[in-house]
Amino acid sequence: MSASDTGPPRDDLAVDARGLVKHFATRKQVTKAVDGVDLQIPTGSVFGLLGPNGAGKTTVVRMLATLLRPDAGTARVLGHDVVGEADAVRSAVGLTGQYASVDEDLTGTENLLMLARLYGFTGTAARRRVEGLLDAFSLSDAGPRQVKTYSGGMRRRIDLAASLVLAPRVLFLDEPTTGLDPRSRNQVWDIVRVLVADGATVLLTTQYLEEADQLADRIAVIDHGKVIAQGTSTELKRSVGQGAVTMRLADAGQRSAAASVVEKVLGTEPTLATDPYALSARVPDDGADAVAQLLPALGDAGIAVPEFTLGQPSLDEVFLTITGKPLPADDEAEPADAQEVSR
pLDDT, tens only, 212-229: 888 999 999 998 999 999
The answer to whether residues 142 and 258 belong to one domain is no
In the chain, how many domains are there? 2
CATH of the domain at 255: 3.30.70.100
Determine the distance from the C-alpha atom of residue 88 to the mean position of all C-alpha atoms in its chain, rounded to a whole number.
Answer: 25
Determine the distance from the C-alpha atom of residue 236 to the mean position of all C-alpha atoms in its chain, rounded to a whole number.
Answer: 15
Q: What is the mean pLDDT of the chain?
A: 87
pLDDT-derived band at 1, boundaries 50, 70, 90:
very low
Per the structure, the complete domain to which residue 96 belongs is given by 3-237
Task: Give the pLDDT of residue 199.
Answer: 92
- Whether 198 is covered by a domain: the verdict is yes
The answer to whether residues 301 and 169 belong to one domain is no
pLDDT in tens, 276-290: 999 988 888 777 889
- Whether 73 is covered by a domain: the verdict is yes
Read off the pLDDT of each residue in 44-66 and give the average, rounded to a whole number. Answer: 93
Count the Cβ atoms, other than its own, within 10 Å of residue 74. 16
Strands (E), 184-256: 201-206, 218-223, 226-231, 243-248
Domain boundary among 210, 237, 264: 237
Task: Give the pLDDT of residue 333.
Answer: 44
What pTM was estimated for this model as a whole? 0.74
- Whether 299 is covered by a domain: the verdict is yes
Q: Which of 87-101, 144-158, 229-243 has the highest mean pLDDT?
A: 144-158
Determine the distance from the C-alpha atom of residue 319 to the mean position of all C-alpha atoms in its chain, rounded to a whole number.
Answer: 14
Nearest to 21 by CA among 31, 10, 13, 29: 31
The answer to whether residues 224 and 247 belong to one domain is no
The answer to whether residues 195 and 290 belong to one domain is no
> Over 70: is that where the pLDDT of 100 sits?
no
The answer to whether residues 246 and 105 belong to one domain is no
**138: burial class by Cβ within 10 Å (0-12, 13-18, 19+)?**
middle
Nearest to 43 by CA among 230, 231, 236, 217: 217
The answer to whether residues 188 and 63 belong to one domain is yes
Task: Give the pLDDT of residue 9.
Answer: 63
Exposure letters 152-173 (e unless 16+ CB within 10 A, then b): ebbbbbbbbbbbbbbebbbbbb
The answer to whether residues 10 and 68 belong to one domain is yes
Q: What sign results for the dihedral spanned by CA atoms 36, 37, 40, 43? A: negative
Determine the distance from the C-alpha atom of residue 86 to the mean position of all C-alpha atoms in its chain, rounded to a whole number.
Answer: 24
- Whether 319 is covered by a domain: the verdict is no
The answer to whether residues 283 and 170 belong to one domain is no
- Whether 334 is covered by a domain: the verdict is no
- Whether 29 is covered by a domain: the verdict is yes
Task: Give the pLDDT of residue 20.
Answer: 98
- Whether 233 is covered by a domain: the verdict is yes
The answer to whether residues 121 and 263 belong to one domain is no
> Over 90: is that where the pLDDT of 97 sits?
no
Question: Half-sphere exposure of 88 toward its Cβ, with a 13 Å CA cutoff?
Answer: 10
The answer to whether residues 135 and 256 belong to one domain is no
> Over 70: is that where the pLDDT of 75 sits?
yes
pLDDT in tens, 2-42: 444 455 667 789 999 999 999 998 777 888 999 999 999 99
Domain boundary among 208, 237, 266: 237
Domain boundary among 237, 254, 281: 237
Residues found in the chain? 343
pLDDT-derived band at 254, boundaries 50, 70, 90:
very high
The answer to whether residues 83 and 161 belong to one domain is yes
Q: How far apart are CA 215 and CA 168, in angstroms?
A: 19
- Whether 341 is covered by a domain: the verdict is no
Task: Give the pLDDT of residue 23.
Answer: 94
Read off the pLDDT of each residue in 313-337 and give the average, rounded to a whole number. Answer: 58
Count the Cβ atoms, other than its own, within 10 Å of residue 329. 9
pLDDT in tens, 260-274: 999 999 998 898 877
pLDDT-derived band at 143, boundaries 50, 70, 90:
very high
CATH of the domain at 225: 3.40.50.300
The answer to whether residues 254 and 125 belong to one domain is no
Q: How far apart are CA 238 and CA 16, in angstroms?
A: 27
